[in-house]
């Protein structure tokens, strides 16, 4: 019988407990973290109860149009191609224009410090992607201007 809630799944509960501090579920099968610089991360248990997914929400590309948007998409495609050749991570853009780095691992293999190391690695990669994409905001073709002039976004 499948666990009714995430808190009832001992393997995933162990991962949550290993992060220290009280964590609150954001959905019945996931929790959210926010890292330095306001970098949001979602950790989820796959519906099959066998895999864990981490989504690092790197950047909000929705305000960009034209040349800047095309350059962002081209950069993401090149990064995604390189990532797929080396690791089990994917970089994508959802329908809202939010860019995320997604990784997944088998829950059973996330023992000891492996989960924390994997999470740290994905967060660091997410920061690098954010840094890269922030450079597009300063391009002269940007119709939105610099981020500080637009107000708070995901980045």
Q: What is the pLDDT of residues 124-143, one digit of tens each?
A: 999 998 988 888 765 454 44
* Mean per-residue pLDDT over the chain, rounded: 80
Domain count, the chain: 1
Residue 90, classed as helix, strand or coil, is strand
Say if 110 falls within a structural domain: yes
* pLDDT recorded at residue 148: 39
Is pLDDT above 90 for 51? yes
- What is the helix (H) or strand (E) element at residue 32, kind and residue range? strand 30-35
Residue 149 or 7, more confident: 7
CATH number for the domain spanning 81: value is: 3.30.1460.10
43, pLDDT greater than 50: yes
3-state secondary structure at position 48:
coil
101 domain-assigned: yes
Domain assignment of residue 134, yes or no: yes
Can you give the pLDDT at residue 20? 82
| Residue range(s) defining the domain that contains residue 117 | 6-150
Greater confidence (73 vs 41) lies with 41
Distance separating alpha carbons of residues 101 and 115, to the nearest angstrom? 16
What's the confidence (pLDDT) of residue 133? Answer: 84
User: For the whole model, what pTM was predicted?
Assistant: 0.78
Q: Report if residue 155 sits inside a domain.
A: no
Residue at 1 is within a domain? no
Query: Is 125 contained in some domain?
Result: yes
State pLDDT tens for residues 52-100. Answer: 999 999 998 888 888 888 888 888 888 777 666 666 788 888 888 899 9
Residue at 21 is within a domain: yes
Asked if residue 86 is part of any domain, the answer here is: yes
Q: Give the chain as a 3 state SS string.
A: CCCCCHHHCHHHHHHHHHCCCCCCEEECCEEEEEECCCEEEEEEECCCCCEEEEEEEEEECCCCCHHHHHHHHHHHHHHHHHHHHHCCEEEEECCCCEEEEEEEEEHHHCCCCHHHHHHHHHHHHHHHHHHHHHHHHHCCCCCCCCHHHHCCCCC
């Amino acid at each position: 019988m499948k666990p009714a809630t995430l808190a009832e799944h001992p393997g995933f509960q162990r991962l949550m407990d290993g992060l220290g501090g009280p964590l609150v579920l954001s959905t019945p099968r996931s929790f959210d973290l926010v890292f330095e610089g306001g970098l949001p991360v979602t950790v989820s248990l796959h519906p099959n109860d066998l895999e864990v997914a981490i989504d690092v929400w790197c950047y909000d590309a929705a305000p960009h149009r034209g040349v800047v948007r095309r350059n962002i998409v081209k950069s993401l495609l090149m990064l995604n191609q390189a990532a797929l050749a080396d690791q089990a991570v994917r970089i994508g853009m959802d329908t809202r224009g939010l860019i995320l780095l997604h990784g997944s691992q088998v829950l059973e293999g996330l023992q000891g410090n492996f989960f924390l190391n994997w999470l740290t690695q994905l967060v660091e990669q997410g920061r690098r992607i954010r840094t890269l994409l922030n450079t597009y905001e300063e391009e002269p073709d940007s119709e939105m201007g610099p981020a500080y002039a637009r107000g708070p976004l995901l980045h």
